[in-house]
C-alpha cells in the first residue's frame, strides 16, 4: 500500500510540474509575439529594411551592409565586418569582430543608447 501511495504521489507531482511548465511557456510566447523580429543572415548581403518602431533586428554573418530606415527597438549583430546604418534605435548588441553601427538618434527613454559589445574592433557611432 505504501508503494502504491508513493507512486501516485510522484505521478501527481509530475503532472503538476508539467502543467506549471506549460503555463509558463505560453506566457513567454505571448511576450515574444508582441515584438517583430527581422533576421538577416548571410555573407555579402546589401539590404534596406523599413522599420516601424517595434522591431528587433538581428544580423548574422560576414560583410553585410544593412540600412534601416525608421525606428527599431534593438539591433543585434553576430559576425564579422558587418556595417549597419540606422535612423533611430534604442539598444545595440554586438558580438564579433570589425562590426560597425552608425545611428542618427535614439528614442530610448533616458536619451542614451543602450549598448553591449563583445569582441574586438567593433564601433557604435552617432552620425
Question: Are residues 57 and 91 both part of a single domain?
Answer: yes
Is the domain of 21 the same as that of 57?
no
Same domain? 43 vs 102: yes
Lowest mean pLDDT among 35-39, 45-49, 67-71: 35-39
**Residue 86 structural domain:** 36-126
User: How far, in Å, CA of 91 to CA of 116, rounded?
Assistant: 8
pLDDT for the residue numbered 3: 57
Domain co-membership, 27 together with 74: no
* pLDDT at residue 114 is higher than 60: yes
Whether residues 101 and 43 share a domain: the answer is yes
For residues 86 and 118, state if they share a domain.
yes
In the chain, the number of structural domains is 2
Output the pLDDT for position 27.
27
Assess whether pLDDT exceeds 70 at residue 68. yes
Residues 66 and 30 in one domain: no
As a whole number, the mean pLDDT across the chain is 82
Looking at the structure, do residues 60 and 118 belong to the same domain, yes or no?
A: yes
Q: Which of 77, 55, 64, 71 is nearest to 104 (CA)?
A: 71
Residue 47 shares a structural domain with residue 96: yes
Mark whether 79 and 58 lie in a shared domain: yes
Q: Are residues 30 and 41 in the same domain?
A: no
pLDDT, average across residues 3-21: 48
Amino acid at each position: 500500500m505504501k508503494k502504491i501511495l508513493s507512486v501516485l504521489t510522484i505521478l501527481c507531482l509530475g503532472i503538476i510540474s508539467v502543467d506549471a511548465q506549460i503555463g509558463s511557456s505560453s506566457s513567454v510566447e505571448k511576450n515574444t509575439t508582441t515584438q517583430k523580429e527581422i533576421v538577416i543572415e548571410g555573407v555579402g548581403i546589401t539590404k534596406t529594411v523599413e522599420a516601424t518602431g517595434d522591431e528587433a533586428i538581428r544580423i548574422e554573418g560576414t560583410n553585410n551592409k544593412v540600412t534601416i530606415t525608421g525606428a527599431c527597438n534593438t539591433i543585434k549583430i553576430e559576425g564579422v565586418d558587418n556595417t549597419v546604418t540606422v535612423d533611430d534605435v534604442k539598444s545595440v548588441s554586438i558580438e564579433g569582430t570589425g562590426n560597425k553601427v552608425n545611428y542618427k538618434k535614439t528614442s530610448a527613454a533616458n536619451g542614451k543608447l543602450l549598448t553591449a559589445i563583445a569582441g574586438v574592433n567593433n564601433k557604435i557611432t552617432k552620425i
